[in-house]
Amino acid sequence: MALISMRQLLDHAAEHGYGVPAFNVNNLEQMRAIMEAADQTNSPVIVQASAGARKYAGAPFLRHLILAATEEFPHIPLVMHQDHGTSPSVCQRSIQLGFSSVMMDGSLGEDGKTPTEYEYNVDVTRRTVDMAHACGVSVEGELGCLGSLESGQAGEEDGIGASGTLTHDQMLTDPEEAADFVKRTKVDALAIAIGTSHGAYKFTRPPTGDILAIEQIKAIHARIPDTHLVMHGSSSVPQEWLQIINEYGGEIPETYGVPVEEIQEGIKHGVRKVNVDTDLRLASTGAVRRFLAHNKAEFDPRKFLKETVSAMRDICIARYEAFGTAGNADKIKPISLETMYQRYEAGEMDPRIK
Ligand SMILES: O=C(CO)COP(=O)(O)O
Ligand SMILES: O=C[C@H](O)COP(=O)(O)O
Ligand SMILES: [Zn+2]
Ligand SMILES: [Zn+2]
């Protein structure tokens, strides 16, 4: 079984200059699509489970779904990550379930909606790091709130993300604050706010530098060169899938995501983890709508669910290739969480601040 820590994987990615997509998982079809794509492209994997995923699938089902992937694909190094934890205790329960990485999103309060004070964020994140590193488990923190620089609106979607109107400052991570945050919390990875938001409705036009602040990444990376940067809300919202959905009865208005080339630019400047959920949802919905429209007498769910697997698999393959993840799975020799703990304890993993 090749369950590894996120820190090990992202250290490898940094050393070799690539990024890793972190796909959200809720069901068997997503899990299969992610793993088959990884297998075909020799890519290491990050799968992440949100609070919504736990509610949908149930924690034991989710856990065993991910573990089943390590059983069927033992040669693929896999990180089991908890997405957007809202408190240290949520993260603690994920560690108890066997997750090798957790996100403590202290940019928002326990309700997952209200932007918090900086000191609160430092406190909950530092406490999570103490507990997680004692188990060899990696921690992702977040500084700044996801939201649209175009409209000033926060990015609440399905209960994840700030609600209401945010200031420009809240939506752009400050490099100075990032340096202080990393120094005080010792997080392994840091999610930054640069104008992306969760879901399909990110931009009303193809994004330019004023609404997607890729340049900000360079300034942050220069201060915290060892801390792996994370881009949330990084679905590209493929126009071809929007078209298919709408052609077969959907009603999704004009919208744009984060272009793959912009993500590639981020990867050149320290982005190592790229969160993608919406793209797989869009492909899945498009595949079901198209299949059922063409096969009106069909009622075996396996028929249309199979279509979703291949649609999602194609997106995963494209992202593994575009981010440079492909070709790296067999280069990673798993390090146990016990060894990771010893390295943290010895101070070997402490971040450099410039
Ligand atoms: O950031 C995400 C999960 O944490 C997913 O982002 P998307 O909605 O752009 O796929
Ligand atoms: O963080 C956002 C992810 O897209 C997860 O969304 P979800 O809460 O609907 O599972
Ligand atoms: Zn957040
Ligand atoms: Zn997110």
The ligand that comes nearest to the alpha carbon of residue 81 is 1
Examine the pLDDT at 185 and tell me if it is beyond 80: yes
Gap between the Cα atoms of 57 and 327, Å rounded: 31
Distance 275 CA to ligand 4 centre (A): 7
The pLDDT of 96-103, averaged and rounded, is 97
Examine the pLDDT at 125 and tell me if it is beyond 60: yes
- Residue percentage of the chain with pLDDT more than 70: 98
Which atom of ligand 1 is found nearest the CA of 160? 4
Q: Residue 156's pLDDT band (boundaries 50, 70, 90)?
A: low
Q: Residue 97's pLDDT band (boundaries 50, 70, 90)?
A: very high
Q: Round the CA-based radius of gyration of the chain to a whole number and report it.
A: 19
The pair of structure tokens assigned to 124 is: 């909950």
The pair of structure tokens assigned to 110 is: 């326990």
- Least confident range from 70-84, 86-100, 167-181, 329-343: namely 167-181
Gap between the Cα atoms of 268 and 72, Å rounded: 33
- Residue 153: per-residue pLDDT: 79
Helices (H) and strands (E) in the chain — how many of each?
Answer: 13, 8
CA dist 222 → 118, 169, 176, 186 (Å): 21, 19, 10, 17
The ligand that comes nearest to the alpha carbon of residue 196 is 1
* 139, 132 contact by CB (below 8 A): yes
Distance 348 CA to ligand 1 centre (A): 31
Distance 156 CA to ligand 2 centre (A): 10
Residue 157's beta-bridge partner residues?
Answer: 160
Half-sphere exposure of 83 (CA within 13 A, CB side): 28
Examine the pLDDT at 158 and tell me if it is beyond 60: no
The residue nearest atom 1 of ligand 2, judged by CA position, is 160
The pLDDT of 295-304, averaged and rounded, is 98
| Between 290 and 209, the higher pLDDT residue | 290
Is any ligand 2 atom within 6 A of the Cβ of residue 52?
Answer: yes
The pLDDT of 272-282, averaged and rounded, is 98
The pair of structure tokens assigned to 286 is: 């498009």
Is any ligand 2 atom within 6 A of the Cβ of residue 24?
Answer: yes
**Beta strands in the chain, from DSSP E residues, in sequence order:** 20-24, 45-49, 78-85, 101-104, 138-143, 189-192, 228-231, 271-276
The pLDDT of 319-345, averaged and rounded, is 98
The pair of structure tokens assigned to 29 is: 């079809």
Beta-carbon count within 10 A of 157 CB:
17
Examine the pLDDT at 205 and tell me if it is beyond 60: yes
Per DSSP, the three-state class of 276 is strand
- Residue 95: per-residue pLDDT: 97
DSSP state of 141: E
The residue nearest atom 10 of ligand 2, judged by CA position, is 52
Instruction: Report the chain's mean pLDDT, rounded to a whole number.
Output: 95
Gap between the Cα atoms of 274 and 229, Å rounded: 9
Residue 21's beta-bridge partner residues?
Answer: 274
Q: Residue 164's pLDDT band (boundaries 50, 70, 90)?
A: confident
Residues touching ligand 1 (Cβ under 6 Å) are: 24, 83-84, 198-199, 232-235, 275-278
Gap between the Cα atoms of 228 and 272, Å rounded: 6
The ligand that comes nearest to the alpha carbon of residue 52 is 2
Examine the pLDDT at 154 and tell me if it is beyond 80: no
Examine the pLDDT at 331 and tell me if it is beyond 60: yes
User: Is 158 one of the catalytic residues?
Assistant: no
CA dihedral 209, 210, 212, 215 (to 10 degrees): 50
The residue nearest atom 7 of ligand 1, judged by CA position, is 233
- The sign of the torsion formed by the CA atoms of 200, 38, 91, 104 equals negative
Q: Which of 94, 68, 90, 96 is nearest to 81 (CA)?
A: 94
Examine the pLDDT at 300 and tell me if it is beyond 70: yes
Examine the pLDDT at 169 and tell me if it is beyond 70: yes
Examine the pLDDT at 85 and tell me if it is beyond 60: yes
Residue 142's beta-bridge partner residues?
Answer: 191
The pair of structure tokens assigned to 226 is: 């060892």
- Residue 159: per-residue pLDDT: 55
Condensed to tens digits (0 to 9), the pLDDT of residues 336-346 reads 999 999 999 99
The residue nearest atom 3 of ligand 1, judged by CA position, is 275
- Residue 352: per-residue pLDDT: 86
The residue nearest atom 7 of ligand 2, judged by CA position, is 52
